[in-house]
Structure 1
């Protein structure tokens, strides 16, 4: 844990201020998945409210295997931890390290709650303790996994009390898994790819996921977590057991994508639909950092044709319903489109240098026009409205690579291509290339042109 995090805790009276913006609904719903079935998905869907990063992490920033801080439970009211032995709990000091003098050992399982002022712990023997501190460290002390919910996790945990935008305690807390990078990655790979895919597809995914994780680590340097465990970042379910995920991680230990001394964010999506997107179009709020040659897009891909989402549509939407969702997305994300008053027209106004849609324009009934980056437009169309609920699966936009027309009160999206933002590596394409004999290194070099591979530790 880095000092900047603990400094922030001190300033806030040991209560971390929760960002007032909820997660973008589409970032956690990019694909249909169940807890038992992996689905290739979308990595690197950074929320519009994230801070802008003007400089990528440098290759010299990491001298040894880093520890990733993965937020695995958000705004929890209760959590239960279990291990084969006892669990040691200690408050975190200003240095970011657990206080050994204050450490207490509890019999598993341990139930944690927060009453708005103190953390409350109760162990398997019935012993309970109320402890006033803003953050705690949990470990087994033996290097064994800890079970949280349905999953086992390597490493240790931090519990971080949360305050609302008014600075008042909420009685909720985040659970953050502190895990070495190479123990983290197998738990990502086996949930981002189908378990029977080619080993070399896993190798390519390991390189991309490691590179992307280092980018998120820089983006969130001043937060109490580096990366999330959902498609808001990349999916992580704890200890990985898939042999191909474990082997691919071992084979690529410390290996990342680099360009001119910087780590390349290893963005990836499920299926590009035949052509990859420019990263500056997919992530306009990061354009100062991601406007680099390996992420320029325009990579042609005929390897993802087997994807069930290679081509899709048409999708029909009611204009009033769509306008309500777009405006609601605008309110949730502090975008001017929050003022949208119905829909007069929707049009694709700009394409990226890669040839994919980069910007859409929506015009309301009184003639006001609002430009939206292609991915923001997709998020807005798929937004789960507080009153209308989520968008039915068959009406969702699977990507922003789509044509649009309006006739009367109906909006029709046609010629849909791919699934996800389309920047960087195409996962179905990686599997297709691996099936044809390409290596993982070949695959990442194809999807990230001019990138170099380097072992950082």
Structure 2
């Protein structure tokens, strides 16, 4: 049995904002989240058509727990009604967001292989005091070494091959843990070990290896905790959107066809 909830767009946006952002935030942050959620929903509305609906209510699309009950969110959705983001070709952007970037966002191609000119890496100091800015995880050294050998064929008897994977201290975000074959992709390590992010150092400590990490989420697009801090400091939702999404345009849904016709 599958239940499909048919919801007006603006009501859906309000519900997603409450589910994704929570309560007690600045109005400008909720406006930013409303525009992002609306744009994401419309640009991904064919994601589940083969299953009989448009978007799901989980992180695969956007978290949706039902109707919003927060006045500030309702105000933010109303004041940005029908507002979406488009790229230079007047196409709805892939308006991704994540909890905390750890101080540096990623390029789209670093996570999903396809590059987008508006999803470019940027330095973000606004999130560094956020609740998800840092994390730590310990795992038995023997389990980590066995994983490297099993999953990637690392020659664990070779100190030259193993050492970079036991003493990992990158100076910036990357794609791989090491620089020599066999390459160990950070994205897969994060998934396999249920880490908060791909942004971490690694060192040995007794019988364990310790992941010291920064941020929470995939790291592409809007850093939510950074955006929250920007809103608290007085930045407008438009300023914040342009900080995280490069060279996008905010337009009314009703004007999309007009602008597309002009561009042809």
TM-score, structure 2 normalization: 0.80
Mapped to 2, the partners of 1:456 and 1:188 lie a distance apart of 19
1:421 aligned to which of 195, 218, 226? 218
Q: Say whether residues 1:401 and 2:164 are aligned partners.
A: no
Determine the structure 1 residue equivalent to 2:191.
Answer: 379
For 1:185 and 1:222, the matched residues in 2 are separated by 23
Give the equivalent residue in structure 1 for 2:247: 450
- State the alpha-carbon separation in 2 of the partners of residues 439 and 265 from structure 1: 21
Q: Is the 8 A contact 2:153 2:182 kept in 1?
A: no
Aligned counterpart, 1:200: 28
Match of 1:68 in 2: none
| Separation (CA, whole Å) in 2 of partners of 1:236 and 1:371 | 34
Q: How does 1:305-316 map to 2 (within 5 A)?
A: 305-313=128-136, 315-316=137-138
Counterparts of 2:33 and 2:86, CA distance in 1: 15
Indicate the structure with greater strand content.
1
Q: Is the 8 A contact 2:98 2:224 kept in 1?
A: yes
Please state whether the residue corresponding to 2:4 is helix, strand or coil: strand
SS in 1 for 2:45: helix
- Structure number with the bigger relative contact order (C-alpha 8 A, sep ≥ 6) is 2
Write the distance in 2 (CA, Å) between the matches of 1:360 and 1:218: 35
> Where in structure 1 are there 5+ consecutive unaligned residues?
1-172, 328-336, 383-396
| TM-score, structure 1 normalization | 0.48
Q: CA RMSD in A?
A: 3.0
Query: 2: CA distance between counterparts of 1:362 and 1:318?
Result: 24
After superposition, give the CA deviation of every residue in 1:393-429 in whole Å (9 maximum; x if it has no partner).
xxxx221111224578633222x21111111001111
Separation of aligned partners in 1, 2:155 and 2:41: 39
User: Shift of residue 175 of structure 1?
Assistant: 2.4
User: Is 2:245 aligned against 1:433?
Assistant: no
Aligned pairs, number: 245
* Bigger helix share: 2
Larger of the two Rg values belongs to structure: 1
Distance across 2 between alignment mates of 1:343 and 1:187: 50
Could you tell me how far 1:269 is from its partner in structure 2? 0.8
Work out whether residues 199 and 248 of structure 1, in 8 Å CA contact, stay in contact via their aligned partners in 2: yes
Partners of 2:96 and 2:167 in 1: how far apart? 24
